[in-house]
Every structure is written in structure tokens, then in C-alpha cells.
Amino acid sequence: MEAMASLKSPFQSLPPFSSTLRTSFPPTRVYISTRNPFLTFSVRAQMEPTEGSAAIVSSSEPVEEVLKVKEWEVGMFHNEVAASQGIRIRRRPPTGPPLHYVGPFEFRLQNEGNTPRNILEEIVWNKDVEVAKLKERKPLISLKKALADAPPARDFIGALRAANERTGLPGLIAEVKKASPSRGILREDFDPVEIAQSYEKGGAACLSVLTDEKYFKGSFENLELIRKAGVKCPLLCKEFIIDAWQLYYARSKGADAVLLIASVLPDLDIKYMVKICKLLGLTALVEVHDEREFDRVLGIEGIELIGINNRNLETFELDISITKKLLEGERRKIVHEKNITIVGESGLFTPDDIAYVQEAGVKAVLVGESIVKQSDPGKGISNLFGKDISHS
């Protein structure tokens, strides 16, 4: 009964921790042996999260017990939740020790293979291992201390809207990116601070800084260097977020916004992380690619910024018409009613591309490849928009 009571506590009592989730799709076969009546409640809580359902903790509970409950609550049925929401990305390789124990339960995973099915899944598996190691070296308590010294968070959405009003064009989030899995090295002479300063001079409203090292040749050091160099544009930490710990880490490094990817994160995770972002002063850019992801995200309270990625992150196929398709009909009405800012992402190379997504309803665009490859990235912005959008 104590565990049941703790699950009804309000969000404000929740310590800022995130569990590590177990994901597999197609759903693995799970055999559970228990008579615990809490089982039924947990499935219901996961499948139909209500307001504050991410808040599962009583402030009187020891932190260790809180984490065990959340690990069980979120992790135990994550496979089923992810499958019900159309999520195909598995959080980690399904193979491993045949028996797993979570709380009072024992279950056996039956799934063959440990090879990622696409590049996004490979990135997520690598990130899961990477984050686990980082958390050991930098526990949350040390990040909380670092937050006290972090520069104040800046208004990411406000900067985009101001640029849109000033120029009559979508506000630009210019991406500081050295490489990508699909294109390889984009710029050999890569100086993150110099590129960031050129973007700002060229009229960028905000900057996106890749922090993934293995696949994008980025780093949190680049993020820090740009922030400390005096660049005034708010900074998006472009990372593959799978754990709330990463939100604290990004904020401690000077990020003003973070990316949450709907094809990786179930609704409960997005809901939980958006609330933590608000507590930290971070803006959450929630990225979608298809109708189902868009509908899921539109149904979550507190979402203010949605990115529509024209590139399928599983296949890397590019189709700029995705933005228009997703913003037609009822969805566009909901976006307007909720005052959500839409960001067009990927496949934007010319003024015609910008005009196309703007007509579809975007108020901002995130662009990397087409401008970072230019000898003068600032001039690349003028070419992208068809005119000078700098403040001068």
C-alpha cells in the first residue's frame, strides 16, 4: 500500500532523476511470476499516463527506494508502452543474460541478435553505454553544484519569434556540425567558435551545437567554448537524450535548449523530461517525423516547440513535403490554438525550400549542412534565404 500511495504524489515532490529504460521492438516475450496486485496498476499507469503520472514519489521516501520504484514502474513495461506508441527503436541490444530481476519479478527475454537495425538504433545503443559511464563519473549531486556556476538560460523561443518578426522569414537555428553519419565530414577546417560567430553575424537567431562525439564529431567542449566566447544566440544542445541526467549535464555546460526525439522516447519520458526542462529553464525542442509521432506530441501538455524532421532517422531518406503533410488540416489548427512554434528541419538548401516550409506553417528552421560547408557560413545564410538577414 505504501508503494501505491507513493505513486499518487504530486510532481513537485519528485527528485530530478530518470530511470534507464528497457526497450525492444517487436515486443519481447516476457514471463512474469508474481501475485503482486500492483502489476495491474503499473500497466494502467504506463499505458494511460495522467497529469503528473511521471511523478511517482513521496518526498518522505528515501532516494534509493524512489529510484527502485521508478525503475520498476517505467522500465518493467517499457517494451509494451513503446510498442503501443509505434516506437521501433530499441533502447539497447535485446540479447544478454537470459534471466532478469526487477523488484519481486523474474522474467526471461526471448529475442535473438544484438545488431542494430538502423543507424539511429546504433547511436541510441552507444549513447546508453556512454551515459551510464558518465553518470558514474559525474553523479547528479555534482551536476547540481555545477548548475550554480552555469550561465543563466536564455529565451530560445523568444529569440526565434523575434527573428521571425524582424525579417518576415523563419527564425534560423544554425547548426555547428562537423560531420554526420550520412554525409561524413562536412568541414575539415572546423573551428566551432569561429563558425558560431559567423552564424551570429549572418543573422542566426539561435545555434544548434552537436555534442555527440562518435557519430557527429561534436563535443560538450564545443558547446562550452561557444558560450564562453560571448556568442549571444541561445544554444541548443543537439544530443540524443535518453536519460534525464543528460538534461542537467547540458544545462551545466551552458545549453539553453535540448532536443527530445519522439521516435526514441515514449510519451511518459517526454512528459517527464519536459517538466524537468521547465524546472531548469531549458527549452525542449521535441522532434517528430510522421503523423503518429506528431499526434503523440501534440497530446502532451507543456510542449511549446516542435521540430518536423524531413529526414527519416532510421533510413536517412529525405522528403521536404513531410513538413507540409504534417501541418495540414486539424494538426495545424491545434498548433495554432496551443501557440506552438514549428521548426522545419533537414533538406533546406535554397530560398525556394525556405518559402515552401514557411507557407506550410513553420516559424523557424534548423539548417546545418547547406551553410556549414560554405567558406563563409554567414554568407551561406544570405544564400539560403535569398537576402541578407543580418542585423546590419
What are 84-102's pLDDT values in tens digits? 788 878 887 776 544 455 5
Q: How far apart are CA 254 and CA 118, in angstroms?
A: 31
| pLDDT at residue 316, rounded to an integer | 78
Does residue 374 surpass a pLDDT of 50?
yes
- Measured over the CA atoms of residue 176, residue 179, residue 181 and residue 183, the dihedral's sign is positive
**What integer best gives the mean pLDDT of the chain?**
80
H-type alpha helices, 285-339: 291-298, 321-326, 330-337
Bridge partner list, 108: 99
Instruction: Say if CB 363 and CB 171 are below 8 A apart.
Output: yes
What are 283-317's pLDDT values in tens digits? 999 999 999 999 999 999 999 999 999 988 777 78
All structural domains of the chain:
2-115 (no CATH), 156-385 (3.20.20.70)
| pLDDT at residue 93, rounded to an integer | 77
Q: How far apart are CA 181 and CA 97, in angstroms?
A: 31
Bridge partner list, 258: 237, 284
What are 19-75's pLDDT values in tens digits? 344 443 343 334 333 333 333 333 333 333 333 333 333 334 454 454 444 444 445
Q: C-alpha angle with apex 139: 136 to 142, nearest 5 degrees? A: 140
Give whole-number Cα distances, 336 to 90, 308, 342, in Å: 33, 15, 10
pTM: 0.77
Q: How far apart are CA 248 and CA 244, in angstroms?
A: 7
Does residue 1 surpass a pLDDT of 60?
no
